Structure 1
Amino acid sequence: MEKNMITSETNSIIKYVKSLQLKKNRMKHMQFTVEGLRIVEECVKHNGDIAYIIYSEEIYSTQGAEKLLDKIALAGYTLYEVSSQLFSKISTTENPQGIMAVVHMKNRSLEEIKSQKGKELFFVILDRIQDPGNMGTIIRTAESANADAVIITKGSVDPYNSKTLRATMGAIFHMPIIQCDDDRWLDDLKENEVKLIAADLDTDKTYIDIDYNTSIGIIIGNEANGISEALLSKVDQRVIIPILGKIESLNASVAASILIYKAAEEKYFKHPNSVRKF
């Protein structure tokens, strides 16, 4: 394990890591940071594309730290040691655990996903989702339900910001993320006969009334305004999740979880020849 000591806040590594707190720099360099023992451990465990790891002596007060550092040593990652005071300068948490990793983004594409998967595809599409917690939770749920990829439309919160990453609980290292700057993804899915299913209040068709046994894309819209009208005009099926109590709607991540697992139920649990992840 290559290990180096950094003592100055003006060090180029420290300045670079701080710069990755901004989305424009993350996208420019195609790198992001993950912080905390559990998510760094997930990254190491699943062979995340780690550029280097930074830690402080604070890490030794966290249970499981020595075991993780042993794994890092075996993997041969470059390791930088800093003081607790210097680590706090680059941390995005109130109570840093004393470890973070700089990780390369995987620039995934629809073409890549289609070439790797079988005939039927399973996408989760997030249209201008704004809350990092919702974004991260939906990515985590999509991974748990064996979706093929999460497609994120322009105007959505950055999936690589610190709050979103924490909410994914490590799912970011498993689930392919496709960020889109235009609507070409929509034409591509249509050309590949992917059935687009939109969560929408303006329909009487419930989510249990439709067929999920084909290539599908489940669309979840903006927390305040729902799915854009332009996108809604091109979906194949609008569905509603009935509200039985007195509230008007569900949280976006809760609605997404219901639809994602309904699709998983139809695709994996009711067909004995399907491939399952358990």
Structure 2
Amino acid sequence: MTESTLPGGHHRRTITGFSNPLVKFLRSLRDKKHRKREKRFLAEGLRLLTDARESGILPEMLVMAIGRDPHPLLDALESEVVASGGDIVEMDVEILAKVTGKDNPQAVAGVFTEFDTRLIDLDRDASPIWLVAQALRDPGNLGTMLRTGDAVGAGGLILLDDCADPFSVEAVRASMGAIFTQKIAIARWDEFQDWLRGGDGQLVAASLRDPTDYRQAAYAAPCFLMVGNESQGLPASYETACDLRVTIPMLGRADSLNAAVAGAVLAYEALAHLRQG
């Protein structure tokens, strides 16, 4: 490894060996327990990191492949990371593949500080729509819900009980940059109920328990749209605690939609109603 200190006190390193301790550290961020210990997460790809930069969030460490193709967005990213005092790391593409877990990694990745996920820090009046997921286990679905939230202008995504880690490489990748635009809160059901009932907010569940057709429902802002676990749905007690239960008609053989897809359908329908109202 070669290393130099640049103006501002940050470092530029070039790594050519798989056994380098920094490579081991970066690889460890693919594991949840290490992410939680370090309070750091990985994001990969120029588009994702550009979305972060345009949202005012820069990586504390920028990792790039040696021999990468030049790109003005990458130049801008590197310049801003250097200006902010971040570290620059270059490594062979084969080593970067080990870091990201992908055989064909993109030419750049970043190490970010995990965001504050306390429920109490959310401003419920920041948006008319919020997404809520209970026990969502698939990081791809979680990332898709973040992407949906960004698309509909939601305030963020509230994760209840034992959900997948929103800072996993898979969830971050699936979010397509929405991890940097959407607020994320993590809470238990009881904590969420206490917070929600402490102010304005309509809790709406996708449910089959005495539901209203999702197109006929009376949505009210701020509207919290909740979907449940991919295989089991929402617990009955959670459904009965909701202000409104809605159903999406199934016209074919399938008895339900994918959880993330259901959240997207409900979000756009609620948004349309709220705009009309």
TM-score (norm 1): 0.87
| 2:132 equivalent to 1:125 | yes
Paired position in structure 2 for 1:70? 75
Residue type matched to 1:72 in 2? L
**2:3 paired residue number:** none
Partners of 1:58 and 1:97 within 8 A in 2: no
Cα distance in 2 for partners of 1:181, 1:11 equals 39
Number of the residue aligned with 2:227: 220
Aligned match of 2:60 in 45, 51, 65? 51
1:14-93 map, 5 Å: 14-57=23-66, 59-60=68-69, 65-75=70-80, 76=82, 77-93=86-102
Q: Distance in 2 between matches of 1:204 and 1:183?
A: 23
Native 8 Å contact 2:166 2:172 kept in 1: yes
Q: Does 1:211 align with 2:215?
A: no
SS in 2 for 1:34: strand
**In structure 2, how many angstroms separate the alpha carbons of the residues matched to 1:84 and 1:209?**
53
Aligned to 1:101: 110
| CA–CA distance in structure 1, aligned partners of residues 150 and 177 of structure 2 | 10
Q: CA deviation at 1:216?
A: 1.7
Contact 2:18 2:95 in 1 (8 A): yes
- Is the contact between residue 120 and residue 195 of structure 2 (CA under 8 Å) also seen in structure 1? no
Contact kept, 8 Å, 1:127 with 1:228, in 2: the verdict is no
1:136-164 residue CA offsets vs partner (Å, 9 max, x unmatched):
11110011111112100121111111221
Equivalent-residue separation in structure 2 for 1:126 and 1:21 (angstroms): 23
Task: Report the equivalent of 1:274.
Answer: none
Structure 1 residues 240 and 58 mapped into 2: Cα distance closer, same or farther (>3 Å)? farther
**SS of residue paired to 2:220:** coil
> In structure 2, what is the equivalent of residue 232 of structure 1?
239
Residue in 2 that maps onto 1:263: 270
Contact 1:59 1:97 in 2 (8 A): no
Residues in 2 aligned to 1:59 and 1:199: alpha-carbon distance in whole angstroms? 46
Gaps spanning 5+ residues in structure 1: where? Answer: 272-278
Matching residue of 1:180: 187
State whether residues 49 and 104 of structure 1, in contact with CA within 8 Å, keep that contact through their aligned partners in structure 2.
Answer: no
**Does 104-113 or 16-25 show the bigger shift?**
104-113
Please give the per-residue CA displacement for 1:207-226, whole angstroms capped at 9, x wherever unaligned: 12222233221100111100
Q: TM-score, normalised by structure 2?
A: 0.88
TM-superposed deviation, 1:246: 2.7
Stretches of structure 2 that go unaligned for 5 or more consecutive residues are 1-5
3-state SS of paired residue (1:125): strand
Cross-structure match for 2:148: 141
Deviations 1:108-158 (A, max 9, x none): 33332228x45x753211011122221111110011111112100121111
Residue aligned with 1:191, SS? coil
Aligned letter for 2:76? K
Structure-2 separation of matches of 1:23 and 1:147:
26
Partner of 1:154: 161
Note if contact 2:130-2:156 (Cα within 8 Å) is conserved in structure 1.
Answer: yes
Q: Aligned with 2:245: secondary structure? A: strand
Conserved 8 A contact 1:141-1:257: yes
The structure-2 alpha-carbon separation of the partners of 1:58 and 1:253, relative to structure 1 and needing over 3 Å to count, comes to farther
| Closer, same or farther: CA 161–73 of 1 in aligned 2, 3 Å | closer
CA distance in structure 2 between the partners assigned to 1:193 and 1:153 by the alignment: 19
Quote how far apart the aligned CAs of 1:204 are. 4.1
Question: Secondary structure in 1 aligned to 2:123?
Answer: helix
Post-superposition Cα deviations, 1:150-188, rounded to whole Å, max 9, x if no partner, equal 100121111111221111100000000101245311211
Give percent identity, aligned residues only.
28
Bigger CA drift: 71-80 or 163-172?
71-80
Residue 227 of structure 1, CA deviation: 0.7
Letter in 2 for 1:252: A
